[in-house]
Amino acid sequence: MAGKRQTTKRQTTTASSAKSTAKRRIKATQTAVKQRLSFAWLKHLSYGSISWETVTAWLPQTMHRAALAGLFLVMLGFVLWLMTWLSNNDNLPIQQVSIEGDLQYLRRSTLQPVIDEYTKTNLAQLDVIGLEQALEEQPWVLDASITKRWPSTLVIKLREHKPVAYWGKNQLLSRYGQVFSGQLNFERKDFPLLYSPSGDGLAMGKQYLAILQQLQSIPDKVIALTENERGSWDIRFQSGLLLKVGKKDKNKRLKRFVVAYHKTLKARIDDMSKVDLRYTNGFAVAWK
């Protein structure tokens, strides 16, 4: 009986030991599997179908995009701040306005109201194009160019019309053939009077120069060339003599007058008030 009890006890101890060993093996196996799965996620192609190569390629791209997004936000914030700062007229105020150019007829006092209207803002917000156009609408201004000289100076460069003739009763003609509304403070007796209802100052200026060439042998100075609505010319000399040239054959009629002047009219030129050249083969004289 004692032998049987010892045998049973030995069998029980052996079974318990085997069971414990089996548990340890199972636990070790589970640990190994977990380690393999964890390592495979990082290095091999296992968990979640993510490879190490995918991870190493994805991380730099993500970091780069994040950096760009951060930089964009910083720049956007700076731009918004700068726009707010520049919109404040207390920042970058216009402290000096310099007017440059070879100016003979323009006066700053006539331009100042226009300049003041546009310089109520600061240098950053100044409407350069608007101010240039407003200045060019002034009678004597040919063109205007504006430069911002940071941080507080505005430079206005002007070119003015240079008059060479009177145009009609109230206007002037510039050297470039432009008609403008400037007024002279004194009479320019050396300026001829030109006019055409077409308003083509350049064409009339050229015609005037051509007439001077044709009549250069006559000592009396041509002081006026005007054209009426029908296209007829009138030429007036300094002596007061008026030539009615008409519309047709102008050059031919002027040549006829030059020939007649040197042949017969020269001696009595001071007694004539008008010569009408609007005839086919001759002219008519009106005496004083």
Q: Say what the pLDDT of residue 66 is.
A: 74
By DSSP bridging, strand 233-237 and strand 242-246 are antiparallel
Q: Say what the pLDDT of residue 139 is.
A: 92
Q: Say what the pLDDT of residue 47 is.
A: 43
Contacts within 8 Å (CB) and 24+ apart, 278-283: 278/232, 278/244, 278/245, 278/246, 278/253, 282/256, 283/253, 283/256, 283/257
Cite the residue boundaries of each domain of the chain with CATH code 3.40.50.11690: 163-287
Task: Kindly report the pTM of this predicted structure.
Answer: 0.68
Q: Say what the pLDDT of residue 41 is.
A: 43
Q: Say what the pLDDT of residue 91 is.
A: 77
Question: 163-287 falls under which CATH superfamily?
Answer: Cell division protein FtsQ/DivIB (3.40.50.11690)
Question: 96-160 falls under which CATH superfamily?
Answer: membrane protein fhac (3.10.20.310)
Please state, as a whole number, how many other Cβ atoms lie within 10 Å of the Cβ of residue 233. 21
Cite the residue boundaries of each domain of the chain with CATH code 3.10.20.310: 96-160
Query: Block means of pLDDT (10 residues each) for the chain, length 288 residues?
Result: 46 53 59 49 47 60 74 79 69 90 92 94 92 96 95 95 95 96 88 97 97 96 97 96 96 96 91 95 92
Q: Quote the crossing angle between the two packed helices 52-86 and 2-43, to the nearest 10°.
A: 50
